[in-house]
């Protein structure tokens, strides 16, 4: 009897929720139609890449990019919709073109091979005379330790390839980026005079891929470069044939005093919970040899597109939504730290943050670090994303710039996940340019991010 009474109630509840979902699917389709038929993502990425270009912290292009971001938010959201949040950022410069050669002696013959290199970000230069020394190859940190008595006066070459059996290249990157980050100081500890690292990539071209190192102040700050993968292959083939190899490296990296940078923040005020914040962002800075199209122009365009479309459709969010183009992700994270620091100091309640910093490729899904209790709700949203080819809902995820919010304020966070197979062909290399981004793929990313932000704003987590 009791069951008979409950059945109609269950039916009513189910039909209400499916009605809600069909309303949501209509709104998401409007978002999608707007983004896919608009030219703004294309024009904005083009401007950022071609008119501003590389925008490392402290560079004149960083200032240009900040002003551009602010103007774009004002254009789409009105004069009171955006502001700059000041933070101090490091000011590292490459100081000219990095050059290197390898001198190879084999079977009584000597040949000099030019190497395609880029100094690692935050590395100090060799001075005008350069550094010349014998190369010693190591295959792991354990290998480095076992050879510690042979490192003095030599150039350590970390030749550790990506593990191609890992399906997600980000896992390979995560596993090996430490050789770039701390490898130079670990080699300097035993008297090495410079370091070369295999580029953190599995591409087939010869572009060197830069990225940050972090010197340990206890050891000499030796120069360090990344080498293109074809040159790496050449060196390892020669070394396997028994060649003796010396390298000459000339780099000019140096620091100027810290300078002023800014997070660019757009905002749409919440109608019901104006003091509860949802953040979406990407980072505005990019490495100096490229246009920073995938890293992280794409994340900035995603952020701007979500801001634009929600404004254009007249969406009135329940919570306040912030759109942040973060400063200085690549070599300091000062923007992300500042954003969380100020949020904490003001006692703001941040209910969710999402970052897009894995490129502008076709969307696959989201990685979410949210309470276990949120997953039942997320489950009900999944079918809304299927028409937009998003099927992956990974437990765990976030982004460097929103990490401080998660760590210091326990904010639930997520990372947007596009297809990752080609990301490391471009990451931190000179071929990370506008032409490497497919605009439809980029736009579909914005569609799915906007949909998730809309659902979290409407239903909470």
Minimum distance of Zn ion from residue 125's CB (angstroms) = 24
In whole angstroms, what is the distance from residue 366 CA to residue 28 CA? 17
In whole angstroms, what is the distance from residue 11 CA to residue 3 CA? 12
Q: Which is nearer to Zn ion, 262 or 427 (CB)?
A: 427
* Tokens encoding 170: 């980000």
Using alpha carbons, list the distances in angstroms from residue 432 to 49, 50, 292, 332, 447. Answer: 9, 12, 6, 21, 23
Minimum distance of Zn ion from residue 215's CB (angstroms) = 21
* Strand duo 273-283 + 155-158: pairing: unpaired
Minimum distance of Zn ion from residue 316's CB (angstroms) = 32
In whole angstroms, what is the distance from residue 11 CA to residue 76 CA? 43
Q: Which is nearer to Zn ion, 305 or 357 (CB)?
A: 357
* Strand duo 273-283 + 319-326: pairing: parallel
Nearest to 227 by CA among 328, 353, 115: 115
Q: Which is nearer to Zn ion, 357 or 457 (CB)?
A: 357
Q: Which residues bind Zn ion (CB under 5 A)?
A: 295-296, 357
**222 by DSSP, 3-state: which?**
coil
Q: Which is nearer to Zn ion, 268 or 402 (CB)?
A: 402
Q: Given phi > 0 = left and psi -120 to 50 = alpha, else beta, which region is 115?
A: beta
Q: Which is nearer to Zn ion, 54 or 243 (CB)?
A: 54
Minimum distance of Zn ion from residue 160's CB (angstroms) = 22
In whole angstroms, what is the distance from residue 238 CA to residue 323 CA? 51
Q: Which is nearer to Zn ion, 252 or 363 (CB)?
A: 363
The number of residues in the chain equals: 461
Query: What DSSP element (H or E) covers 444?
Result: helix 439-459
Residue 382: CB atoms within 10 A of its CB come to: 13
Minimum distance of Zn ion from residue 448's CB (angstroms) = 19
Minimum distance of Zn ion from residue 329's CB (angstroms) = 6
Taking a C-beta distance cutoff of 8 angstroms, is the pair 186, 221 a contact?
no
- Residue 99 β-bridge partners: 250
Minimum distance of Zn ion from residue 456's CB (angstroms) = 23
Minimum distance of Zn ion from residue 357's CB (angstroms) = 4
Q: Which is nearer to Zn ion, 350 or 428 (CB)?
A: 428
Q: Which is nearer to Zn ion, 98 or 357 (CB)?
A: 357
């Amino acid at each position: 009897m009791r069951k008979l009474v409950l059945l109609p109630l269950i039916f009513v509840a189910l039909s209400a929720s499916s009605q809600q979902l069909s309303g949501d699917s209509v709104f998401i389709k409007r978002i999608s139609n707007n983004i896919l038929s608009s030219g703004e993502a294309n024009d904005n990425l083009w401007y950022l890449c071609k008119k501003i270009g590389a925008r490392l912290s402290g560079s004149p292009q960083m200032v240009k990019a900040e002003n551009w971001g602010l103007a774009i938010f004002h254009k789409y959201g009105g004069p009171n919709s955006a502001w700059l949040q000041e933070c101090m950022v490091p000011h590292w410069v490459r100081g000219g073109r990095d050059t290197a050669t390898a001198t190879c002696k084999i079977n009584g013959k000597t040949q000099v091979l030019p190497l395609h290199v880029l100094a690692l970000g935050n590395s100090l230069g060799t001075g005008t005379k350069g550094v010349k020394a014998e190369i010693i190859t190591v295959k792991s940190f354990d290998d480095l330790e076992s050879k510690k008595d042979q490192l003095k006066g030599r150039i350590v070459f970390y030749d550790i390839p990506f593990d191609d059996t890992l399906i997600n290249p980000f896992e390979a990157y995560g596993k090996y980026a430490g050789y770039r980050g701390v490898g130079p100081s670990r080699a300097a500890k035993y008297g090495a005079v410079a370091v070369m690292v295999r580029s953190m990539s599995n591409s087939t071209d010869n572009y060197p891929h830069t990225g940050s190192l972090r010197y340990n102040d206890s050891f000499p700050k030796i120069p360090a470069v990344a080498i293109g993968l074809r040159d790496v292959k050449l060196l390892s083939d020669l070394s396997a044939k028994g060649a003796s190899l010396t390298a000459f490296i000339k780099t000019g990296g140096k620091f100027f005093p810290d300078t002023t940078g800014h997070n660019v923040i757009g905002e749409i005020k919440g109608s019901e919970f104006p003091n509860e914040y949802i953040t979406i962002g990407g980072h505005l800075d990019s490495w100096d040899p490229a246009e920073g199209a995938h890293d992280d122009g794409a994340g900035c365009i995603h952020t701007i597109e979500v801001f634009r479309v929600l404004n254009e459709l007249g969406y009135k969010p329940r919570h306040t939504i912030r759109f942040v183009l973060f400063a200085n992700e690549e070599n300091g994270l000062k923007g992300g730290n500042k954003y969380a620091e100020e949020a904490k100091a003001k006692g703001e309640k941040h209910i969710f943050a999402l970052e897009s910093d894995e490129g502008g490729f076709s969307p696959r899904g989201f990685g979410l670090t949210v309470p276990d209790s949120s997953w039942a709700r997320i489950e009900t949203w999944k079918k809304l994303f299927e028409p937009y080819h998003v099927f992956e809902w990974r437990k765990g995820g976030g982004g460097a710039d929103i990490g401080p919010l998660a760590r210091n304020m326990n904010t639930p966070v997520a990372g947007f996940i596009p297809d990752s197979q080609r990301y490391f062909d471009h990451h931190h290399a000179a071929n990370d340019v506008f032409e490497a981004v497919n605009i439809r793929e980029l736009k579909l990313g914005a569609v799915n991010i906007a949909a998730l932000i809309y659902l979290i704003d409407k239903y909470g987590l």
